[in-house]
Amino acid sequence: MLWTYNMKVELTSQPDNAKVWVYQSSLELTDSDLAQIKELGDFFLGQWESHNLPVNGSIDVYDNHFIVISAFSDEDAMCGRAQDSQMRLIKELEEVVEGKLTDRMLVFYQEDDELKSFHFSELEQLLSDNKITSETIVFNSLVATKQEFENSWKVAVKLTWLNQFVQ
């Protein structure tokens, strides 16, 4: 399920090279969480600037676990202040959802039509139990652009960095 709200721009209208960040919540986001994410997100997007130029940004929530922020600016790179302000937003959202959104050791995958997650430290056991294979679809939180998000966010393990652990 995709949850979107009125934002400055939509992710789909961003150029392919727009920067993308994927944040994951191990806990399913509630309706209350979503309402607060919308409120904080609307405010943030309305004032997000880099080098005193507006950043065209979006905030989407996918499958009630993934917060996806996109940004595009007319400059080559966003300034540190703009990136810092986004991290402050994420820290605020971590308080809202009462959980960590920046844990890169958390891996989501699909089992049948169900979304599941595990900590990277559990990978060896999941491989041994054959619950994770080279064909398992995982959610690649390391995508960095809109184009990568569209083409490589949901991908088989064999096409990710996790493949080095599959025998």
Q: Across the 167 residues of the chain, what is the mean pLDDT of every consecutive 10-residue run?
A: 49 89 95 94 91 89 95 82 94 94 94 93 94 95 95 94 87
Whether 115 and 67 share a structural domain = no
Q: Is residue 148, in this structure, part of any structural domain at all? A: no
pLDDT at 8: 59
Whether 32 and 111 share a structural domain = no
* CA pseudo-torsion sign 40, 42, 43, 44: positive
* End residue of a domain, out of 80, 97, 114: 97
**Domain limits at 157?**
106-143+153-165
pLDDT at 158: 94
pLDDT at 93: 96
Whether 157 and 85 share a structural domain = no
Whether 115 and 71 share a structural domain = no
Whether 16 and 66 share a structural domain = yes
| Polymer length in residues for the chain | 167
Whether 75 and 25 share a structural domain = yes
CB–CB of 86/21 below 8 Å? yes
pLDDT at 61: 94
Q: What is the pLDDT of residues 62-77, one digit of tens each?
A: 999 999 999 987 777 7
CB–CB of 143/152 below 8 Å? yes
pTM, two decimals, is 0.90
At residue 102, φ and ψ (nearest 5 deg) are -115, 20
Would strands 114-119 and 66-72 be described as parallel, antiparallel, or unpaired? unpaired
Sequence-distant (≥ 6) Cβ neighbours of residue 47 within 8 angstroms: none
